[in-house]
Structure 1
Amino acid sequence: MEKHTERVSRKRQIKKEQIYKAALSVFGKYGYRKATLEDIASEFHMTQSGLYRYVQNKRDLYEKAVACGLIEWQRTSASSIENESDPLLQLQNYALTGANYLNENDDLRNVLMNDPSVFPLNTKEDHFAPINRESMSILRDILKRGIEEKRFRNIDLDYATSFLYSVYVMFIIKSYVKPDIGSSEDMLSNSLDILLHGIVNKEK
């Protein structure tokens, strides 16, 4: 039987996640500067002072809301490989599901467009480093399995993980943060094709 303290802790965690999702929606609509704690409290039907039971200030709420959105994005991408045994298809599913998630999630996509620092070029400035490291770990596991099963070439695992993750982040930035292409789906599809099959004509 679940203990009272465990029930209280679980309810509080659920409440926090609900607040973070509501906050992400407000930050997505107005951006960090224009969004106010009053806007967010109103979105969640609570008082502004009530928010301070869960966060220290606006910046703290922003980072926790964005982290919540990034974790949900990560979980959705990871779930796409659970029932797939082929490492190559896992890699494709992981990338495509992540891109499709952003296409359908206006709140997180808008936050990324308004705040490119979510994916900083300097890793020392990464406020979401633990989440990004976990995403890289998932990618590394896919590559490791592919190498062990001889589905992929015997390449340097750490270098390949870092390179492919950097390419994916670049795709996200080019597609959503600073869009300058017509179709993100076409860009990802062609990028995957080049990454997985190369540019050399092996028939010659």
Structure 2
Amino acid sequence: MFIIITMKPKIENDIIFAAALEVFARYGFRKTTVQDIADRLTMTKGNLYRYAKNKRDLYEKTVSWALLRWQDNVRRAIAEESGVENQFLVMCRSAVTYLATDRDLRQVLAADPDIFPMFPGNDPYAAINAASIEMVKTLLKRGIRLGRFRKVDMDTAAETIFGIYKMLIIRAYIRNEEKRLEQMFEQALELMTHGLLLPDSN
């Protein structure tokens, strides 16, 4: 099946990067050629070079587009909820479960774990992940202001929550432990929202 496109900037970018993601997911970065992607789009290779300097540039732009789409999905899920507690819960759930619905991004992540490193020292998409941490921090700040969350160091707490989320993603979708995802996620969410210690009964 081929894609025929008409040139409208935003729609055009979405179609091009979606097609590129599909091809990179199928063949991997090394085996994919720019011609493969051009053929998928029924474009000439020359036209495709309007969007990227080379295959590496196209790959990085495609991954950035896919990560931002993931992020936007979470943002929309939050906006549909009322109450900061529900917003926090849906943020966590939608962020972790999104990859179950995006097979192409899941396959690209599994083939290239450097896209989503556990530690931020060598993060090629640091700006996108920083925006995700800021999303967490915004909810924490609102919850504290409304008296629904206890006071914490928001920077540290947001980075810790994001670190737990990354660990779950890496184990489920990169290390192929998806069967344990739901159990691990619910346990992590329980610990984040209710802690470990029982309330003092005295």
TM-score of the two chains, using structure 2 as the length reference = 0.90
Q: What residue number does 1:132 align with? A: 129
Stretches of 4+ moved more than 6 A in 1? none
Give distance in 1, aligned partners of 2:71 and 2:118: 20
Change (3 A) 1:121 1:189: closer
Counterpart of 1:144 (choices 136, 141, 145) is 141
SS at match of 2:179: coil
Question: Are 1:89 and 2:86 counterparts?
Answer: yes
Is 1:38 matched up with 2:35? yes
Greater mean alpha carbon deviation, residues 98-107 or residues 180-189:
180-189
What is residue 155 of structure 2 aligned with on the other side?
Answer: 158
| Match for residue 61 of structure 2 among 64, 71, 81 | 64
Residue aligning to 1:189 = 186
The answer for the alignment partner of 2:3 in structure 1 is none
Which stretch of structure 1 is more off in the superposition, 175-184 or 13-22?
175-184
State yes or no: 1:170 paired with 2:167: yes
Is the 2:118–2:166 Cα contact (8 Å) retained in structure 1? no
CA drift of 1:180 comes to 3.1
CA shift for structure 1 position 97: 1.2
For this pair of structures, how many residues does the alignment match? 195
Aligned-pair identity in percent equals: 38
Aligned with residue 113 of structure 1, among 110, 114, 124 = 110
Give the distance between the partners of 1:28 and 1:78, measured in 2 at CA: 25
Q: Look up the equivalent residue of 2:77 and give its one-letter code.
A: S
CA distance in 1, matches of 2:128, 2:109: 15
Superimposed CA distance per residue, residues 57-82 of structure 1 (whole angstroms, 9 cap, x where no aligned partner)? 00000000001100110000111111
Unaligned stretches of 5+ in structure 2? 1-6
Which residue matches 2:18?
21
Aligned residue identity for 1:137: E
- For 1:101, give the aligned amino acid: Y
How far apart in 2 are the matches of 1:15 and 1:40? Answer: 14
1:142–1:32 Cα change, 3 Å = same
Alignment-derived partner of residue 101 in structure 2: 104
Q: CA deviation at 1:115?
A: 0.8
1:199 deviates by: 1.5
Shift, 1:84, TM fit: 2.1
Distance (Å, rounded) in 2 between the aligned partners of 1:43 and 1:189: 40
Match of 1:78 among 75, 79, 83: 75
Q: Which moved more, 1:125-134 or 1:51-60?
A: 125-134
2:89 maps to a residue whose letter is Q
Please state how far the C-alpha of 1:181 moved relative to its aligned partner. Answer: 5.2
Instruction: Give the aligned residue type for 1:100.
Output: T
Deviation at residue 122 of structure 1 after TM alignment: 4.7
RMSD of aligned Cα (Å):
1.6
Quote the Cα distance in structure 2 between the aligned partners of 1:145 and 1:170: 25
